[in-house]
Amino acid sequence: MKKDQHQLNWLMVSLIAFNMVWGLGNVVNNYSQQGISVVVSWVLILALYFIPYSLIVGQLGSTFKESGSGVSDWVEKTSTKRLAYFAAWTYWVVHIPYLAQKPQGILIPLGWALQGNGQFLKQIDIHWIVILCLLIFGLFLYLSTKGLTTLKVIGSLAGSAMLIMSLLFVLLAVGLPFIKPDIQFATPHMDQLSTYIPNFDFSYFTTISLLVFAVGGCEKISPYVNQTRNPAKEFPKGMIVMAIMVGLSAILGSVAMGMLFDGNNIPEDLMRNGAYQAFQMLGNSWGVGNLFVVIYALTNMVGQIAALAFSIDAPLQILLNNADEDYIPSWLRKRTEKGVLINGYLLTGVLVSLIIILPIFGIQEIDGLVKWMTNLNSIVMPMRYLWVFLAYMMLNRAWKTYKNAEYKFVNNPKLGFIIGTWCFLFTAFACILGMVPKISYAENPTAWQFSLLTNILTPIILIGLGVILPVLAKKEQKKQIK
């Protein structure tokens, strides 16, 4: 009897997806933007965006089960090679700000692990922080050319440990009232529903890009669609369970943050130090001191190191492995004798270094730097999700060709197209409004102007570079013909 190759059930799918999508940083970052009212925001974003997004990915993955390049393959099969190139370029280029933030993500937990507090980077001039970040990135850029298989395995383990720490945070915080019945919550009136209702004004809508950023990226799940025993039933069930798990983690995690930090008076350094301070408070309350802080800092640091190393190489390979010579010139596709995409690494190094250096022209302290970089990523990174929704829209337009997929989110192509359009427009809306600075102009006009300018120009320039490459490739081909 032939062994069943479809070994995953819905529970396994949900756990894999949860590990890919979720982390404690999502809770801390969004709480720092919205306070305790983020609880309602999580409910809305999960119901109106995340669940449809996950199930859209399921249908695309099931329809194009042999596609190795993910989103760019989906776009090519439903539209044109040119759009597929831009999808692949977008997937790679949005990782530039992400890579630029990783050195900070290594230095912050290092400080907490060594000193047990968040003062390490607070005491260092912004110019020296930039230099340290450049050195760290340069080191890992070089090491990535040598292969970092061991580090990636360790990083995978650290990622699982981080997931456990995220869940542990929720359990420790929720369990706190049982061991300390007289505990006073930092946020007042947490027993009243009105405390959790956001003020849906313009300022609120400028923060939703961070929510989209937090729940995005589930297209990574697509290879697992056809590894389930019954894709039509097991995968959507797994995605719904995963969405419930994300929802519970987000809501309970945000409530836990409200217990520890006043949602009406959010500390300036919460985005940088919130997770560590929370574990410090919980550790003291549970009688273990800084134990949780040290464990979280070390696992986070290793995870950030592995993410930096992996994210230098993997997106570049996706862009250039099967690069079409009509769109990418030969110098960028060049490999060394060992197969290293040398000019691709150099281009990555130049672009990331420029992003790392930028803050010295408008930001003077570490908390402003962390906020700016996090918000920049929330603007740029979701741009790759747009291609997922475009592919789904085009898939529904070519319904007769692809109607035999094992799993379908919806069976009505018109409804499917509307859902894809909604997710596309909502993502674009979040990215555009996310460009508005989250700091007060009156308090710091220089930093406000810097943030607005860089938030607008960075995505334009990064995508614009992708327009230049096909022009260079075309000139190169003309020279070869002559």
Reported as a single tens digit per residue, the pLDDT across 54-77 is 889 888 887 887 766 678 889 999
Residue 211 lies in a domain: yes
pLDDT in tens, 177-226: 888 888 889 999 998 999 999 999 999 999 999 999 999 888 877 767 76
Residue 391 lies in a domain: yes
pLDDT of residue 202: 93
Tokens of 45: 């974003």
Selection from 36, 306, 276, 288 nearest residue 151 by Cα = 306
Q: How far apart are the first and last CA of the chain?
A: 60
Cα–Cα distances in angstroms (integers) from residue 260 to residues 168, 347, 451, in the given order: 15, 43, 29
> 101 near 308, Cβ under 8 Å?
no
Q: CATH no. for residue 117?
A: 1.20.1740.10
Q: Is 462 exposed, middle or buried (0-12, 13-18, 19+ CB in 10 A)?
A: buried
**Dist. CA 59–CA 78, nearest whole Å:** 13
Domain count of the fold of the chain? 1
Q: Is the pLDDT of residue 371 over 70?
A: yes
pLDDT in tens, 7-29: 778 888 888 788 778 888 999 99
pLDDT of residue 482: 62
Residue 16 lies in a domain: yes
Residue 5 lies in a domain: no
pLDDT in tens, 232-284: 778 788 888 888 888 899 999 999 999 999 999 999 999 999 999 999 999 99
**Dist. CA 404–CA 370, nearest whole Å:** 47
The boundaries of the domain holding residue 238 are 10-481
Percentage of the chain exceeding pLDDT 90:
57
DSSP string, 18-45: HHHH--HHHHHHHHHHHGGGHHHHHHHH
pLDDT in tens, 349-367: 999 999 999 999 999 889 9
pLDDT of residue 3: 45
pLDDT of residue 220: 77
